[in-house]
Every structure is written in C-alpha cells, then in structure tokens.
Amino acid sequence: MVDNRTPYAVDKIWRQDKDGNKLWMVVVKATFDISLNGTTSLAKEQIPVAATCEYRGARGKTSLIHESDLFGVKAGTDVLVNGSAWAPSGRRVRALDVRLRIGAVNKRLRVFGDRCWYRRLAGGLVPTQPEWFESMPILYERAYGGQDFSADDPAKHRIEDRNPVGAGFAVRAEHCLDRRLPNIEYPDRLIASWRDRPAPAGLNAVECSWSPRRELAGTYDESWRRNRFPLWAEDFDGRYNNCAPLDQQVGPFLRGGEEVALENLSPKGTLAFTLPKIHPCFRTRFGRKDQEHRGQLCTVLLEPDQSRVVMSWQTSIVCNDRVDDLDVTIVTQKAAGSGA
C-alpha cells in the first residue's frame, strides 16, 4: 500500500482521530551522518521506522529509548537528544553545563557527577561532593524522580509521577540517607533541600503514562463512558502524541534548514551543523483519483555520540468511506531548489 521512491525508510498505519475519523498515516524517516566540519550526508544505513516503543529495560521500570514513530499525529516537531554529556577535551570534571539549540529551542542543563545525601554532624542533610566524570549518559534514570517505598505501610508508598524511574525523590528526610541525587538538573532550579521537587530535567522522550503528558489524553469518567466511549475524550489534547519534553516541542513545525548546536554533548566537542532540508511528497490513489498531501517534519532525533541526526515526516489524510478504495501512497521527494 506504499510505493517508496526515496532512499529513506517508510512505513504506514491506520489511526483514528479524536472524533473517530479513520486516518491513513504515512511516516518517512531519513538518517544523516554529521561530519566534523558540520556537513551532513545521507547515511548508508537508514534506520527503520519504529513500529513499537523501545525501552532501556522493562516497561514501567526504565525510560524510553525511542517512542513508536507511528504513535499518532503530532501537533508540532519533537526535538530529542539521545546521548551523553562529555567533559571538554576529555578532562574529567565534577559538573558541567550542556546546551541544545535548534529553532526556538535553547535549552541548558547542568550535569553533576554521582552524589548522595549525608547528614552533617550539626544536623541536616547535604549532598556529597560530586564525583569526577568524563562522560555521563543523559537519561531520566539520572534526573529527579523515582519512588519511595521505604515505609512499612504500603499505603504510604509514593511515586514521582513526572518521572517514576528517576533519582532523589523521598517523602521523609530519614528516607534520604545514602539515597542518590539526580545527576541532571535545570541550572536555575538546582536542588538545595531534600524537600525540593524540581521538574525532571532531560533531553529524551517522555513516556506517555508520565505526568504531565498523560493528562493531555483527556478525562475518562462516567460522562465519557456514557457519551463518547470508545472515542478519545472530549478534552483530548493533540500534544499527547508528542513525546519530547515540553520545552523541546516546536510549533509551528520545523522545516529543515535550521541551525543546530550541541555544546558538551559530543566527544568531539561542540557539534554544529545545518539541519538537512528535504521535501517528501505524498500522493495517494483512491481508485482512479489521486490526492496529493503534505508531510510535516514531526521528529528531529539528535544522536551526537554516533554523529548522526534522524528526521521523520508524517502525513495523514481522513479516509472514512474511502478506506476500501485506497490503493497506494506514492512517496517521492521534491528536487533541491524547487521550493518548499
């Protein structure tokens, strides 16, 4: 049902929108290598479209590596980074800042070496001095969050809903002793007390069951069961389909051609390049009639450890009573210099 005439990976899926319309969604995924001089070239190995979510371990106990590229129609471009913080010139540090810049996104995080809480002789909990490190993976397992099951009574067990797999969360001071602090924080919201509850800091995909993303799925109560089941809730927000942290979601969509800079996120130093600008084109045939439709750059995945960038476009059209008439979607790309 898809005729791919590009060098990129392509896949498709049927979806349903908020009001029950049947959507035909096609995704194009292009992988580019990034050279030291900042030029990009088509990678020999094109990463396939991800049909399912991939976790670092068991779902519910580890963070996402990749969300499915077919999850749903996105409301803007997700900018994601899978990588590590790297000490400049390979000289170990106790802390450093990393920075991501692309389009409207300008984000800085502070990365610490491993720390834990200890009790001073004078009383009170303070963090240990950070350990030295050369590189530190940027994962939600190393951001603020986690679980506190220290209490004997299970009714008093608590989970940090914004990041259940993180570090540092505790409900009582005595539960913090020797508990690991997060390695990754926002520079303007650094943890000073065990009572602090900062937003988890990261650059990776956020799982759909974590807050505040899960609330965007809407309200599923008795009124929904009576009036809308099995459709999405009336207050469903399309941003639910976006998996990037809120400060890494770009709307309107990126188009390609934007400048990208990654500071202390590559073993090769600052990585700067221009996002490739390509234009996938889509033409879907329903019997004897063709319908042309545009794609949107829905995901930019930066993988500086591998010196590559992966870009995904998605397009969707409402089919409903035309479902059985759909023959094929032909995917091509517009020649360079032929306009947006």
Instruction: Looking at the structure, tell me whether residues 211 and 296 fall in a common domain.
Output: yes
Q: Region 163-191: what's the mean pLDDT?
A: 94
287: CB partners within 8 A, 6+ apart: 325, 327
Instruction: Looking at the structure, tell me whether residues 130 and 265 fall in a common domain.
Output: no
> Can you tell me the distance from the alpha carbon of 313 to that of 334, in angstroms, rounded to the nearest whole number?
14
138: CB partners within 8 A, 6+ apart: 81, 83, 84, 85, 98, 109, 111, 184, 202, 203, 204, 265
| Token representation of residue 250 | 């770009």
The SS3 call for residue 25 is: strand
Which residue among 164, 189, 214 closes a domain?
Answer: 189
Query: 264 is in which domain, residue-wise?
Result: 2-83+205-333
pLDDT at 10 over 90: yes
Residue 32 lies in a domain: yes
Instruction: Looking at the structure, tell me whether residues 216 and 293 fall in a common domain.
Output: yes
Which residue among 141, 163, 189 closes a domain?
Answer: 189
Mean pLDDT computed over every residue of the chain = 95
pLDDT at 339 over 60: no
pLDDT tens for each residue of 190-217: 999 999 999 999 999 999 999 999 999 9
CB 12 within 8 A of CB 1: yes
pLDDT level of residue 335 (50, 70, 90 thresholds): low
pLDDT tens for each residue of 216-234: 999 999 999 999 999 999 9
Distances (CA, A) of 145 to 11, 23, 72, 137, 332: 35, 36, 27, 16, 44
The SS3 call for residue 180 is: strand
- Class of residue 38 by CB neighbours under 10 A (exposed 0-12, middle 13-18, buried 19+): middle
Instruction: Looking at the structure, tell me whether residues 297 and 222 fall in a common domain.
Output: yes
| Token representation of residue 73 | 């129609």
Distances (CA, A) of 234 to 117, 182, 218: 45, 37, 7
Total domain count for the chain? 2
> Can you tell me the distance from the alpha carbon of 107 to that of 241, in angstroms, rounded to the nearest whole number?
22
